[in-house]
Chain A
Amino acid sequence: MRPRPRVTSVRFGFNPNSSSLGIDVTFLMLGLAGVSIISATVSALLPRLRPPPAPRPETPTQDASKS
């Protein structure tokens, strides 16, 4: 049997601060029950999504006069 996909950890939010990393301490209030619920939910939902193709670098347009 194929192992079930699992989300092992999550970090919520962006960190616009450009000097150190932000850690959302309010999640401490959710405790282990919060971990179980969020882990089960995202482990079930996330693998159903697919990323769109990554944007490529813009290629400079060729200067026809030089060819």
Chain B
Amino acid sequence: MTRRGLGDHLASILGKAVGLRVRREAFGAIAMTERPAALFYLDEAGAKAMGCSEPAPEPAGSAEHRAPVEVHWTLSRRCDQACTACYTQSVPNAAPFNRERLEATVEALASAGVFHVAIGGGEPLADPFILEVARALRARGLSPSTTTSGGPVTPDLARRLTDFAQVNVSIDAPGAAYAEVRGHDRFAMADAALRLLQRHVPRVGINAVLTRSSFAHLDELVRYAKERRVTELELLRLKPAGRGRANYLEQRLTPEQAESVLPRVLALAKRYRVRIKFDCSFAPFVYHHAPEPRVLSFFRIHGCEAGDSLASINPEGGLTGCSFLAAEAGPATVALGKAWAGSPVLERLRRYRQEPPEPCKGCAYLKACNGGCRAVSAHLTGDPYAPDPECPRVRRAADAARDAARDPARDAE
């Protein structure tokens, strides 16, 4: 073997060891590694250096990505936990996953070059087809992951979850505080499931919905995450979707909590050395602290990426920009292919940053943020394309406009 041939061979062995996949993009390429779990965005020279010989594709409409990087696949709305804030309004007697859709959907995901599929529900681990879905995704080189309440996790099931790259357990607060948010006390069940999963799944984390009441238990939650040595703790902003709509105004974070959440979380992450993630909808609360834009951009600490790096498949097989958005771009099997670039539904989501209303228009973080959470805007204003009314900057602009309307003379001075 020549020196070059040997080098290429070694590069392939290393690539296989880290679970490398590369996808060509208009800007260059995206490389995903599974060990460590990461996505790397490369420029054109990087794409060439990684062996991409085909020409760069045309940009997909206004999207940065020629296909989603990550897809959330809601298999069904079947779950027996009846959590008070369930965004999919899942119920025990809903139909399970429609198995007939499996092959075509996996094929569409694989052909589009999607890297990662987060399987949701309902309770995904209670679905009779869950292992088959994960195996089918793996067989086409995709990385499946999921989140569970922990209810269905038995020693036998935990052992059979080998196709999953990561499983998170929903625990909004440890101990007695669990019931305050979920409406039922199943902390012991969730904790037992978490420990069981840690024996068989490479990465196990915690998902926690941050509400007005669970905010008070944030320290306990991070301490618990540390004790259990989880891969990460992912904090989710409460969304006004499904059953979460009913108590949204009482349970959403107060403006003070929203504005203080970033420094508080960073201090806890430092103190307990726990990796903490926010979900995309927290972005305006992060930007409120004026972080360095180059750090945000390099680590992709972005806001709404619905219809760009992210898309969702609902139980009926339709593709939406995000699980919280109802407007469909078409059947996933079509919308993940040729229809991705030109879909008016997805283009509307992507183009917000190009024609935003004030105060997003003058905001230094517009490019990264994209106007905050569309689901929150839709619920509070009736318009999903209005600036997120809970963003501190948007709230202050609205307060100022209200004051000016009340006292026009002062405004004219």
Contacts and interface: CB of A to CB of B under 8 A. Distances in A.
A57 B139 CA distance: 8
A5 B299 contact: no
B50 A49 contact: yes
Given A11-B38, A23-B302, A50 B324 contact: no
Q: How large is the interface on B (under 10, 10 to 19, 20 to 34, 35 or more residues)?
A: 35 or more
A50 B300 contact: no
Interface string A24-67: 11111111101100110011001111111011011000000000
Query: Max chain B CB contacts within 10 Å: which of A34, A51, A54?
Result: A51
Interface stretch (B115-123, B212-220, B340-348, B359-367): B115-123
A23 B278 contact: yes
Given A16-B207, A22-B234, A28 B295 contact: yes
B377 interface: no
Nearest to A30: B295
Contacts, number: 234
A60 to B, nearest CB: 10
Nearest to A23: B301
Contacts of A13: 37-38, 231-232, 275, 277
Interface string B35-70: 011111111111011110000000000000000001
A55 B18 CA distance: 16
Interface in B277-312: 277-283, 286, 291-292, 294-302, 305, 309-310, 312
B270 A29 contact: yes
The interface residues of chain A, by DSSP majority, are classed as mixed
A28 B291 CA distance: 8
Contacts of B237: 20
A8 B278 CA distance: 22
B12 A50 contact: yes
Nearest to A12: B38
B72 interface: yes
B139 A55 contact: yes
Nearest to B14: A49
A20 B236 contact: yes
Interface stretch (B164-172, B187-195, B388-396): B164-172
Contacts of A49: 11, 14-15, 18, 20, 31, 50
A15 to B, nearest CB: 6
Given A10-B300, A49-B50, A21 B40 contact: no
Contact of B49 (A31, A47, A58): A47
Interface stretch (B90-98, B140-148, B178-186, B331-339): B140-148
A30 B296 CA distance: 11
B146 A19 contact: no
Contact of B300 (A2, A20, A23): A23
16 contacts: A4-B45, A12-B299, A14-B166, A16-B118, A17-B118, A19-B323, A20-B239, A22-B232, A23-B278, A25-B269, A25-B278, A28-B286, A46-B50, A49-B11, A51-B20, A58-B139
Sorted from nearest, which 9 A-B pairs have the closest CB atoms? Answer: A18-B120, A47-B49, A16-B145, A5-B46, A20-B279, A5-B49, A22-B277, A50-B11, A18-B118
